[in-house]
Amino acid sequence: MGATNPVHGRVAGIVLVGGTGSRLFPATRVVNKHLLPVYDKPAIAFSMDVMKECGVNTLVLVCNAADEEIYRSIPAWLGYADIDIRTVVQEEPNGIAGAIACAREHLEPEGYERIVVALGDTLYVHSSTWAGDILRKTDATGCSAAVAVIEHPDPKDFGVVESTANGNVVRVREKANVRHSSQVCTGLYSFDSSMWKRLESIVPSRRGELEITSLLESYIDDGGLTAVAVPEEAGWFDVGTPDRLVDAAVARRRLLA
């Protein structure tokens, strides 16, 4: 593997690569957005690199039925043959927490102590060598979960994270109307195995989805969620819109020039 397991205990991964990619139509009518190129490689490759840095050797890709075959064949066309890649279809678009729950049948019976979760359209296009911190910090602080955060000047489109000076998260607000620079979720998390039971208690939000915020709040209530700072040089981008996809590709090109 590209990196050794950064913590004691067995680590599995989940990458969410479903959705319609409606903001990227018409390209995503025929190609899943996580397969679109970010300059020199598809978006999914950046999430795979994160999983390698976290020492993951079993990975579940939560995808659409139409894309399952291509994701199952990743070792044949993209590499990562040292990772046991499994796929599961999210039958209904019921939110991020709902997507995570789809992986339960693959991972819970095998007793993984830590589960790293990544949103497939939020990428670190410069470097993922820091990613093991999402596990190391939970071990060092004794927390049960962690969220990767970065300071953002316009946080209204993201989950806003409020934390203490030592990194303990006290509040997460989804797409809050915040007009000043704030820490935001970058789409990378780690959870302990209690995650599976916590998911059972989540109820749909007003928009009818099982929210990742609800899962994070359950850890906050136990004092067990810590924030992990993403270094600026990691090159974080959300590639869910045409402009952001282009920006990520340009940043990647500059890195490799």
Domain range holding 250? 11-140+188-203+231-256
What are the residue ranges in the chain where pLDDT is below 70? 1-4, 8, 176, 178-179
Give how many domains the chain has, as a whole number: 1
64: domain CATH number is 3.90.550.10
Instruction: Indicate whether 224 belongs to any domain.
Output: no
Instruction: Indicate whether 183 belongs to any domain.
Output: no
Determine how many CB atoms are found less than 10 A away from the CB of residue 189. Answer: 26
Instruction: Indicate whether 158 belongs to any domain.
Output: no
Instruction: Indicate whether 120 belongs to any domain.
Output: yes
Q: Residue 4, by phi and psi: left (phi above 0), alpha (psi -120 to 50) or beta?
A: beta
How far apart, in whole angstroms, are the C-alpha atoms of residue 52 and residue 119?
15
- What does the pLDDT read at residue 73? 96
Instruction: Indicate whether 134 belongs to any domain.
Output: yes
Instruction: Indicate whether 148 belongs to any domain.
Output: no
- What does the pLDDT read at residue 237? 96
For residue 28, what are its two tokens? 């995503």
Instruction: Indicate whether 147 belongs to any domain.
Output: no
- What does the pLDDT read at residue 201? 93
- What does the pLDDT read at residue 2? 42
Instruction: Indicate whether 151 belongs to any domain.
Output: no
For residues 151 and 183, the answer to whether their CB atoms sit within 8 Å is yes
